[in-house]
Amino acid sequence: MKLVIVTAVDEYKKEVIDLFRRAGIENFSESDVEGHKTTATNNLVSSWFAREGSRADSELFFSFAEEDTVDELFKLIKGFNQNLETNNPLKAVVVPIEKHI
C-alpha cells in the first residue's frame, strides 16, 4: 500500500478526480489549499506562480492505494502534464506505508 498525494490548481479539480477514477483509485480525499511563493525566480516559464509574493487557490488530493493503481495514476498524470497549455502541471508524490490498520 502507498500514500499518493497530488496537488493541482483549482482549474484542474475535475480532471484530477477523473484521473483518479481512470487509474482505478475509488477512494480518495481532497482539500482546498493555498499555494504561496516567497522567492523570485529567473525562470518564469517553470514557475508555478506568476510573481514573487503571489498565491494560488489549489487542491490537494490523497489516497491510500495499491501500487499498481498508483503506477497507473502516474502514467495518466504524466500524459495530462504533457498536453498542458499552461505552466501549472499536476504535482504528485508517493509515500510508502510501513504499517496500516
Q: For 81-96, b where at least 16 C-beta lie within 10 A, e where not — what string?
A: eeeeeeebbbebeeee
HSE, side-chain direction, 13 A CA sphere, residue 84: 20
pLDDT at 40: 62
Q: Which residues, at least 6 apart from 51, have a Cβ–Cβ distance to it below 8 Å?
A: 37
What is the average pLDDT score of the chain? Answer: 87
pLDDT at 70: 97
Give dist(CA 76, CA 79) in Å, integer.
Answer: 5
- Report pLDDT digits (tens) over 43-67: 545 555 445 556 778 999 999 999 9
Has residue 94 got a pLDDT over 80? yes
Percent of the chain with pLDDT over 70: 83
Has residue 26 got a pLDDT over 80? yes
- Report pLDDT digits (tens) over 65-78: 999 999 999 999 99
- Domains of the chain, with CATH numbers? 2-38+55-96 (3.30.70.120)
Question: What is the residue whose three cell numbers read 510501513?
Answer: 98
Tell me the pTM. Answer: 0.81
Has residue 18 got a pLDDT over 70? yes
